[in-house]
Amino acid sequence: MQDNEPILLVEDDEVDAMTVRRVLRELKVSNALVHVTNGEEALGYLRDSTRPRPCLVLLDINMPRMNGIELLRIMKADEELRALPVVIMTTSTNDRDIIEAFHLSVAGYMIKPVDYRQFVETIRTIDTYWRLSRRPVATVKAASAT
């Protein structure tokens, strides 16, 4: 992951959010973690031009006010947000959720492990993948203007 860009965690469960923070510290991930508790808060953060753009969005599905799938639909319809990489981290094993998430171009769909060591390995895998991945520096809009 780009060290100077935050990771946006969209998670309503405080225990899961604390676990993600703990795992990121344990793995020595230097990115700042921005935590919001629902899709509406995430959208507010993402549309605020004074806030740094995240390098990755870790998104839960089952949340109040605006769930993860609803947020994904809005993000993928928004020219400024559609290229942001999103990894679903949820307890939902519902096939409809999985199909809809991939239909909306998520980068991955991870089931939150109950076991802490497995949780660490899940986050390590996500971190490793994003450190190795390349993504466009400019937005899709800027790239198509040239």
Least confident residue range of 65-69, 109-113, 138-142 = 138-142
Helix (H) or strand (E) holding 82: none
Q: How many CB atoms lie within 10 A of CB 31?
A: 18
The pTM is what? 0.88
Name the pLDDT band for 143 (thresholds 50, 70, 90): very low
| DSSP symbols for 26-85 | HTT--S-EEEESSHHHHHHHHH-TTSPPPSEEEE-SS-SSS-HHHHHHHHHH-TTTTTS-
Name the pLDDT band for 2 (thresholds 50, 70, 90): low
3-state secondary structure (DSSP) of residue 104: coil
Q: Residue 57 has what DSSP assignment?
A: E
